[in-house]
Amino acid sequence: MRPIEDQVVLVTGATSGLGQALAQRLAQMGATVVAHGRDQGRLQALAEQVAASGGRGINTVRADLAEIRQVDSLADTVLQRHHRLHALVNNAGVGFGPPRGERELSVDGIELRFAVNHLAGYALARRLADRLAASAPARIVQVASAAQLALDPEEPLTAVNYDGITAYRRSKLAQIMATYDLAADLVGTGVTVNAVHPASFMDTAMVREYGQQPLSTVDEGLQAVLRLVTDPALDGVSGRYFNGIHSAEPDPQADDPAVRGWLRSFSEDLLRRART
Ligand SMILES: NC(=O)c1ccc[n+]([C@@H]2O[C@H](COP(=O)([O-])OP(=O)(O)OC[C@H]3O[C@@H](n4cnc5c(N)ncnc54)[C@H](OP(=O)(O)O)[C@@H]3O)[C@@H](O)[C@H]2O)c1
């Protein structure tokens, strides 16, 4: 891998929690960070914090990932502004929601957790894959979770018996299945794709929203994700799932090529419909 000072790294969901800590740390290390957020004021505040702490200047880009057209314009903006891209960290995510929260939909009418946690990152990775390959060696890091649940192809979007934890867990396993699929597609391009559970119940907004007592620090999750972005020992390692810093096995459904094939065409179909 290139020295971090020579890398351009896109981090989604960089205005809060783990993504914010990662963007700040990478900028301190000298990377050119492209920080994504959905609120211009908070992106500006992040840029000022990084500048004040002596980090390399941060570039910001705004998009609501609950709308596929905005995911596409995020990709277009990155492609226009950055002729090289060495890492994409799909970190942005929606948590369990509040206890007994109601089912929510994205702007495109797709169950919100599936849309933001899986579909947006999948679309972004597909749109940026050629630029990553042209900048190789490059990495895609999917911030997933140990909270996973097998998807039901008959009822993938949790329309029946909805609860936020079920929807979240399905979206996180979808993210891991997409990781395996992308990794296979990108073999030979110099782009690796891995998924990681950062740490359990870090002290972040989504954990507080659910009313859960934090069990780990943001710094623990940061170490796990930072390693996947920057550790030269992981050069060439692709299509893997890590729990923290350890290689791990996700829910067995991730290893089922038939379900992965179904998920891929289901996701592509949702994207096609959202774009028309
Ligand atoms: N916290 C944990 O214990 C834990 C455990 C396992 C995995 N994870 C994963 O870690 C990642 C980071 O989560 P976190 O714990 O740092 O939570 P967080 O502080 O709530 O951060 C979530 C980030 O996602 C962004 N986001 C949510 N919906 C979005 C949308 N529609 N469009 C654009 N951005 C959106 C948020 O934007 P705003 O800043 O505008 O709110 C925020 O920056 C997530 O993928 C999460 O699933 C977390």
pLDDT digits (tens, 9 = 90+) for 91-115: 999 999 999 999 999 999 999 999 9
Residue 242 amino acid letter: F
- Cut 0.85: pTM above it: yes
- Rg of the chain over Cα atoms, rounded to whole angstroms, equals 17
Nearest alpha-carbon partner for 145 in 206, 194, 196, 210: 196
> Measured in angstroms, how far is the CA atom of residue 181 from the centroid of ligand 1?
23
Has 162 been annotated as catalytic? no
> Measured in angstroms, how far is the CA atom of residue 274 from the centroid of ligand 1?
23
Report the percent of the chain where pLDDT is more than 70: 100
> Measured in angstroms, how far is the CA atom of residue 155 from the centroid of ligand 1?
25
Q: Which two tokens stand for residue 190?
A: 């110099």
* Atom of ligand 1 lying closest to residue 207 CA: 1
Residues 6+ apart with CB under 8 A from 23: 11, 14, 33, 35, 46, 50, 58
The series of mean pLDDT values per 10 residues for the chain, 276 residues long, is 96 98 96 97 96 88 98 98 98 97 98 98 98 98 98 95 97 98 98 98 97 96 98 98 98 98 98 97
CA 91 to chain centre: 3
> Measured in angstroms, how far is the CA atom of residue 92 from the centroid of ligand 1?
5
With the most atoms of ligand 1 within 8 angstroms of its CB, the residue from 204, 222, 225 to mutate is 204
All domains of the chain in start order, with CATH: 4-275 (3.40.50.720)
Cβ < 6 Å from ligand 1: which residues?
A: 13, 15-19, 37-39, 64-66, 91-95, 116, 143, 145, 197-198, 200-202, 204-207
DSSP letter for 194, please: E
* Atom of ligand 1 lying closest to residue 201 CA: 3
Residue 110 amino acid letter: I
Mean pLDDT of the chain: 97
